[in-house]
Structure 1
Amino acid sequence: MNEQGVLLIQEYGRVELRLRELMDQRGISRNRMARLVNTRYEVIDKWYKNQVEKIDADILARICFVLRCGVGDLLVYREQPAQPRS
C-alpha cells in the first residue's frame, strides 16, 4: 500500500479477443453470429469490439462451437511492456 492507503496495481498485461478477426475472415456479420450463438446482438458486439469485461464461459463455448475453433484462437494474452524504474 502507498501512504494514502490505496493499493498499487502492477501492470500485468491484458487478454484480447480476436473475434472480429475470425468473423471478418469468415464473412460472418454480428447479427448472424448473434443468431448462431443464440444471444443478443449487444453481447456479440461487445465481444467483436474487444470490450468484454468478464468472460462468460458459456458464450465462449458457443462461439468456439460456431466458428469450429479453440479458446486459444479467440483469446490472446498480451504482456505489458516493462516500465523503467525511477
Structure 2
Amino acid sequence: MAAETRVWLVERTYSDDEQNLIILTYATPDGRQDFRKERALTSFSGDHRETPVSLTVPADNLGVVDDPDTRERYETEATRMAAEYDADDAL
C-alpha cells in the first residue's frame, strides 16, 4: 500500500473543454506536489455539495509542480488553508 499524503485546496477552476466541469486542485503544504480532482456541476438548483478543504491521497497519485511561481502560490494557499481550517472541514 502506498503512503498517503495530506493535500489542501489551493484552486478551483472551470474546465475550458467542458462547460459543466470544475477542477479542484489540492497541493502539499510545500507546494511541490498537486492532486487534481474533476467534478461535474449539475443544473439542479437544489444540488449543494460541499468541497473538502483537505484530502488524504496516495502519494503515487500526486503530480509534480515544476513552475516556481505556481509552486510558491500553491505553498502560500495550502499553508493558509491549513492554518484557517481543520483537515475535516468543507467549504
TM-score (norm 2): 0.27
Name whichever structure is richer in strand by fraction: 2
TM-score (norm 1): 0.27
Query: Which of the pair has the greater relative contact order for Cα pairs under 8 Å at 6+ separation?
Result: 1
Q: Which has the larger radius of gyration?
A: 1
